[in-house]
Amino acid sequence: MQPRIRRRMIALLLPVWLVACGKNPEEKAAEIGKEVDLALGSQRWEQAEKKAQEVLAIAKISDATRDQARLKLEQAKSEQQAKLHYQRFVGAADTDHDTAMAAYRDMAQGSYYRTLAKGEHDRILPSYVADHMEKATSASFNGRCADAKQQLQLVLDVDPQNAKAVELSKKPCTKKAD
């Protein structure tokens, strides 16, 4: 067969062959979905986000496949945010417990980074609570009721069952005359 005829046949048959050998949308989505799972499992959030978006860009996939891709996309985005909060938490844990506790609170409940920070959070929690209880007690004693309430709320936000905070919140606070 002459090279010119062979090239022409290939040019005519190539599109047909590619369509015949192409994967259906669900298979393609499943293949990319595995890459998303691998990226999520190895904390490569940006890559997981990109791959989940690739799945969502595939036309004619089932609603269930699309829903799964959306969930994984949201997880990747959430973990990217949690990573930023975690970095803030780590940077403040030894010096600024208020900032550290706020950063921990801002991490999503099921986040990889919240789990990573749990031990350090548990280490600083008692001093955070003691500091705010001391401020609440002082404010209450000195008639600064709004300050006392605010300090107690900070304690109750991290330890809703704190007996001392609950007890102090029930005591009347009387503003002192100037």
Confidence of residue 9 (pLDDT cuts 50, 70, 90): low
- Please state, in angstroms and rounded to a whole number, the distance separating the CA atoms of residues 169 and 159: 14
Local structure of 134: helix, strand or coil: helix
What local confidence, expressed as pLDDT, does residue 177 receive?
58
What local confidence, expressed as pLDDT, does residue 124 receive?
97
Asked if residue 51 lies in contact with residue 35, where contact means CB atoms within 8 angstroms, the answer is: yes
What local confidence, expressed as pLDDT, does residue 134 receive?
96
Confidence of residue 178 (pLDDT cuts 50, 70, 90): low
Confidence of residue 6 (pLDDT cuts 50, 70, 90): low
Asked if residue 55 lies in contact with residue 29, where contact means CB atoms within 8 angstroms, the answer is: yes
Please report, rounded to a whole number, the percentage of residues in the chain having pLDDT higher than 70: 86
Written as six digits, the tokens of 104 are 């921990």
Rg of the chain over CA atoms, in angstroms? 28
Summarize pLDDT for 136-168 with one digit per residue, the tens.
Answer: 999 999 999 999 999 999 999 999 999 999 998
| H-assigned helices in the chain | 3-21, 25-41, 45-57, 63-92, 97-106, 112-141, 145-158, 163-170
Summarize pLDDT for 12-66 with one digit per residue, the tens.
Answer: 554 444 444 457 999 999 999 999 999 999 999 999 999 999 999 999 999 999 9
Asked if residue 54 lies in contact with residue 65, where contact means CB atoms within 8 angstroms, the answer is: no
Summarize pLDDT for 61-92 with one digit per residue, the tens.
Answer: 999 999 999 999 999 999 999 999 999 999 99
Written as six digits, the tokens of 82 are 């949690």
**DSSP label at 175?**
P
Report in angstroms the alpha-carbon separations of 63 from 24, 49, 66, 108, 168. 15, 19, 5, 26, 53
- Mean pLDDT of the residues in the chain: 89
Please report, rounded to a whole number, the percentage of residues in the chain having pLDDT higher than 90: 80
